[in-house]
Structure 1
Amino acid sequence: MADIQPPPNTAAANVAASVPSKEHLRTRCCYCLCKTLWILLVLVIVLVMLVILVFYIIITPRSFRFHVTDTTLTQFDYAANSTLRYNLVLNITASNPNKKLKIYYDVVQANAFYGGVRFSTTDINMPWNSYLQDKKGTNLFSAVFSGQHVMVFDRNQVSDFHEDTNDGVFPIDVMIRFTIRFRLEAFQFGYYYPRGMCELKVPLTSKGEKVVPFKVTKCRIDF
């Protein structure tokens, strides 16, 4: 008589098959951990970027403002030997519009042009080198151009010079070169090199009086 085999325990087999192995559990744990760490890393990066953005918006460096408020031109003569003799003084106000940042002016150098030709270079007079301007502050500086310079004018330029002399007003452009830094509390940062252009109509000054009043001129600053 043949032996009768007991039926397989299908329920136990199914339970055993449904229980994950240790290797499978380890893989799932590593996956979950990596996923969690990756999400945390992304959140930290986004948070840092938001903090930097908010900080930048709050203290974004804003360009200063330069105005030429007055001029004194006591000499501007062009001699037959192609020499321009000049004596020009500019009064300048510099305003810092930043609410959080102070400005260090390390270099402020001015170049004067007539007819598109540079005839003089000078440093803006400041109380000392590397002048610190306070937040929302406005300061008065001056620039002095004095001396002589050889300038070879063509016939049209000589004619324009004579017309300006008769009018008593000379179109003089002043280009200003800056080297500045910003200061936030005890921290200094940057070195910035903006440029300024002041397109002036300078009246001749004779015996302390101008031929026509000088109009305050705002300089264009490329920051």
Structure 2
Amino acid sequence: MTDRVYPSSKPQAVNGTTTTANPAFPATKAQLYGATRPVYRPQPHPRRQRRSCCCSLCLWLTLLIILLLLLAAIAGAVIYVLYRPHRPDFSVTALRISQFNLTSSSQLNAKLNLTIAARNPNKKLVFYYDAMSVSVSSNGVDVSDGTVPAFVHGTKNTTALRVLTTSAAAQQLDTTSASTLKSDMKKGLPLKVRVDTKVKVKIGGLKTTKLRIRVSCDGIEATVPTGKSPTTASTSGSKCKVDLRIKIWKWTF
């Protein structure tokens, strides 16, 4: 029987250098792949990175919005201290009814003359009004409509706006509206005046964008003329309220 010679696994010196002999054969899987197998390093999860970026973006946007609101509040406070802005005042000073009758077929024929006083109480603010649409109603029933041309309202000034309002041509009322109006015509006609327009404000050398406003005046009592002589309504108890109308997309507040 012949003897087998196995190579030594001890390092041997060749020309002054030390070499390592091949490992014993057959080699194990750990010996074969251990030297070339890359070291495992855990990688960060991509979802966590995206969440971190979104959180950072939301934080910066929130801070930016807070900063803009703070700057707007500071600017508003400065404008208020310097200019002391006040809303314009409106009042119905006179209202005459020259025609007001309801036919048997519920057709309304009305003609009213109004005088509306617009007052600018500000010393440094000028108002630029667009054309105004004026409507007169009684208990929710539209009676007559008219318009006032655009005008410039100077500082510390009161302007009398005279407007003729008439009912729509061949205005036909429904049964409920006609019944309500007939009852009010006998005992006294409560009237409400509404004015819709846009206004631009000049502050010093600056002009704002156009803003929608609505003026609502109620507390007006009138009697219907029986002949050709017009009747004068009582406006002493009338009060007007000015509201800012803000439109966002399809909604108006």
| TM-score, structure 2 as length reference | 0.58
Give the match for residue 151 of structure 1: 173
1:110 paired residue among 123, 126, 134: 134
Q: CA deviation at 1:176?
A: 1.1
The answer to whether the 8 Å contact 1:203/1:214 transfers is no
Give the match for residue 172 of structure 1: 191
In 1, the alpha carbon distance for the partners of 2:145 and 2:193 equals 9
The answer to whether the 8 Å contact 2:120/2:153 transfers is yes
In 2, the alpha carbon distance for the partners of 1:158 and 1:185 equals 51
The SS at the match of 1:54 is: helix
Give the match for residue 100 of structure 1: 124
The 3 A distance-change label for structure 1 pair 47 and 181 is closer
Unaligned 5+ segments in structure 2 are 1-69, 245-253
What number of residue pairs does the alignment pair up?
171
More helix by share: 1
Bigger relative CO (Cα 8 Å, ≥ 6 apart)? 1
In 2, the alpha carbon distance for the partners of 1:48 and 1:202 equals 47
| Matching residue's letter, 1:198 | C
The SS at the match of 1:222 is: strand
1:90 paired residue among 107, 111, 114: 114
2:203 paired residue among 167, 184, 188: 184
Q: CA RMSD in A?
A: 2.8
| Matching residue's letter, 1:67 | S
| Matching residue's letter, 1:193 | R
Q: CA deviation at 1:166?
A: 2.7
In 1, the alpha carbon distance for the partners of 2:105 and 2:234 equals 31
| TM-score, structure 1 as length reference | 0.65
The answer to whether the 8 Å contact 1:68/1:216 transfers is no
The 3 A distance-change label for structure 1 pair 216 and 49 is closer
Unaligned 5+ segments in structure 1 are 1-45
Work out the percentage of aligned pairs sharing the same amino acid: 23
In 2, the alpha carbon distance for the partners of 1:108 and 1:47 equals 34
Answer with 1 or 2: which has the greater Rg: 2
